[in-house]
Structure 1
Amino acid sequence: MSQPENTAQPENTIQPAANGLSIILFAGGFDRVHYALVMASAAAATNRPVTLFFTGRALRALVQENEPGVLGWHDLDPADDGSTPVARDRYFATHGLASFEELLGACVALGATVMACEMGIRALGLPSGVSLRPDVPVKTGGVVTFLNEAPKGGAMLFV
């Protein structure tokens, strides 16, 4: 007589639907947004579905500035050490740490979903039809859209 096949999965196995990461980027401090990109790119690199929802002051990171060479993240709030975002990013780059552009580029290349909150755009006082970065595929939507698109059962962080 044959034994029934055991189809139960070990308790420590991560199920595909439960291994995603959703990050709500609200705070506009450079270090907070930078580290959220660290987390997102690492999760995407390990084949986890990732959703980044930019709102509040963090939305500055996605704004397309009119001045050549100036990116929206340059207007994020100062880093935790009081330095400007550009100075802090330069420090990271010269010390072997990923720069803001490298991390954001990795998130895009690895298929992370990037969303901009419609309400956040209005609350920040950005003009209607504000240009977002053309090199980042950004979906606009509200909280309901974000919650519907966030990986079900995955971790959700508020930064």
Structure 2
Amino acid sequence: MADKISMIVFTGTDDKMIPVGVISQAAAALGYEVYIFFTGWAMFKLLKQPMGEVWPKEFEGMVPKLKEGMARLKAPSWKDMLKQAKSMGAKVYVCSMMAEAAGLKKEDFDPTLVDDVVGVTTFLEQAKGGQVLFI
């Protein structure tokens, strides 16, 4: 069986989205099967018209320094890292129940980021046998 990592991404704050990009890109580059399931507030980051940056209140004072550091490192955005992971085979899904509750359809999501809108059972079947991270 191939190495496999799956992520359930619930929060839509940018401090959590950066690790989603980093982990998905690194795992895909190492040849892992990568499955990412966006639910809750995180799914709104994948819309064609996404919500803007959101940082936890307690981290707001550190955001400028973090952004400076990321720019100095020439680090790609979390979206670009996620797109890179997808180009290496990672799959990105949005939770169908949460999308429906919010009145959203597959067409509302950025097709360069989202492969499909699926139920949790579909995601769990794909994640079976691998490591699952909750972000």
**TM-score tier after normalising by the smaller chain length:** 0.7 to 0.9
Gapped regions of structure 1 (runs ≥ 5): 1-14, 66-71
Which of 30, 46, 52 is matched with 2:14 structurally?
30
Work out whether 1:99 is the aligned partner of 2:83. no
Secondary structure of the residue aligned to 1:27 is coil
For 2:133, the equivalent position in structure 1 comes to 157
Q: Which of 25, 32, 51 lines up with 1:48 in the alignment?
A: 32
Report deviation, 1:90: 4.9
- Structure 2, unmatched stretches of 5+, are none
| Separation in 2, partners of 1:88, 1:62 | 25
After superposition, the Cα gap between the structure-2 partners of 1:105 and 1:144, relative to the gap in structure 1 and judged at 3 Å, is same
Q: Would you say how many aligned residue pairs link Structure 1 and Structure 2?
A: 131
How far the C-alpha of 1:93 sits from its partner, in A, is 4.1
Counterparts of 1:2-151 in structure 2, within 5 Å, are 15-16=1-2, 19-65=3-49, 72=50, 74-78=51-55, 81-82=59-60, 90-91=67-68, 93-96=70-73, 97-123=75-101, 125=102, 127-129=103-105, 131-150=108-127
Kindly indicate whether the alpha-carbon contact (under 8 Å) linking 1:60 and 1:75 is maintained by their aligned counterparts in 2. Answer: no
- Root-mean-square deviation (Å): 2.4
Change (3 A) 1:34 1:148: same
Higher Cα Rg: structure 1 or 2? 1
CA deviations 1:55-108 (Å, max 9, x no partner) are 01110221001xxxxxx1x5353256227x9x7885354121232232122111
The amino acid of 2:99's aligned partner reads I
Determine the C-alpha separation between the residues in 2 that align with 1:89 and 1:101.
17
Task: Name the aligned partner's letter for residue 145 of structure 1.
Answer: T
* TM-score normalised by L of structure 1: 0.71
Comparing both chains, which one has the higher relative contact order based on Cα–Cα distances under 8 Å and sequence gaps of 6 or more? Answer: 2
Q: Distance in 2 between matches of 1:120 and 1:102?
A: 24
Instruction: Give the structure with the higher percent helix.
Output: 2
SS in 1 for 2:94: strand
